[in-house]
Amino acid sequence: MALGPVMLDLVGTEITPEEHELLLHPQTGGVILFTRNFESVAQLTELVRAIHALRDPHLLVAVDHEGGRVQRFREGFTRLPPVSRLGEIYRQDRQRARELATESGWLMAAELRAVGIDFSFAPVLDVAHGLSGVIGDRAFHSDPEILADLAHHYMQGMNEAGMAATGKHFPGHGGVKEDSHLALPVDRRPLEDIRQADLVPFERMIHYGLAAIMPAHVIYTQADPELAGFSAFWLQGVLRHELGFQGVIFSDDLSMAAAHVAGSFAQRARKALDAGCDMVLVCNHPDGAREVLDSLEGYDNPVSQVRLARMHGRRPQAWAELHASARWIQAAGAVAAYDESPYLELDV
């Protein structure tokens, strides 16, 4: 059974009978996990194993696990600092910041791979313009070139651990104050300003081999009247053709407040897919998820299926083996030290 174009969520720490049915739907292709799905490392490992056992090829299992405010799993996992700390270190010692970015990306990815999770929606490529509270310290830096440099090393660490990277939120969420989870953000800057700043990290990361991108639920009025995630201008014109991106495009969550302008759940899903998304996320709304799955009956995109298959995780280490390894001890020590004191001298 091929991977479908819809990613769903779960209500708890086990798969319910209703969710079991939805996960077997041919238009389902993945599951995104949240803190409510986690109670222990052992439980999480079993949950992911159960999801993967449902189908072949197995459903993609993803999570938002960036560090700082956005770290879904805590107990047993290494505490990850917000990546803005790396930007602070960069001002003092750019080579050390690069090394720590690699260690951080590897550690995040290696622990998730050890419990079977395929990928995290990371890194954040939004420029820290000082406007967006929802982005804030999730951004590496205010300088697009420094941001891209750090994100590149972070991605290298992820790749080393067997995880593909997903850059977000294209073409940049850092220039608006509103949180798209709660409101409709509108960016009124000239398109050229966005090209000269916010697009730079995405352009650089595509060149470095970025596997996937998630667009922002933001309207950029000087470019297109549609939200970026529903915009053929942004996804096909700029991302695919201008920047030459050939990887996966994931929609942001279709249940977010900003997405409501695109119509019903079925309409949102169709608009996102028609605009160029390969997979759409429907979270925290079971009725919306069923509506989307039913509306896509018969939908088939072989190119998207090939792209999505590349997001399966590689080379997992068992949890105990990982934590006994010299590589983990080194990375965990480095991350803990700069979390406590960003400017502490370390041999990494």
Q: What percent of the chain is predicted at pLDDT more than 70?
A: 97
pLDDT exceeds 90 at position 170: yes
Domain boundaries, the chain: 6-338
Q: How far apart are CA 51 and CA 3, in angstroms?
A: 13
Token duo for residue 116: 């079977």
| Residue of 252, 253, 278, 312 with catalytic role | 252
181 is catalytic: yes
Backbone φ, ψ for residue 237 (5° rounding): -65, -50
Q: How far apart are CA 239 and CA 125, in angstroms?
A: 14
Q: How far apart are CA 245 and CA 236, in angstroms?
A: 9
Backbone φ, ψ for residue 249 (5° rounding): -115, 115
Reported as a single tens digit per residue, the pLDDT across 27-66 is 999 999 999 999 999 999 999 999 999 999 999 999 999 9
The CATH class of the 6-338 domain is alpha beta
Q: How far apart are CA 27 and CA 248, in angstroms?
A: 16
Task: Specify the pTM.
Answer: 0.95
Reported as a single tens digit per residue, the pLDDT across 114-158 is 999 999 999 999 999 988 778 999 999 999 999 999 999 999 999
Backbone φ, ψ for residue 94 (5° rounding): -65, -35
The H or E element that residue 214 is part of is strand 212-215
| Residue of 93, 179, 181, 224 with catalytic role | 181
Q: How far apart are CA 256 and CA 277, in angstroms?
A: 17
Token duo for residue 126: 């939004």
Query: Is-contact 180 135, C-beta < 8 A?
Result: no
Report the pLDDT averaged over residues 212-222.
Answer: 96
Average pLDDT of the chain, as a whole number:
94
DSSP class of 238: I
- Of 77, 52, 54, nearest to 62 (Cα)? 52
56 is catalytic: no
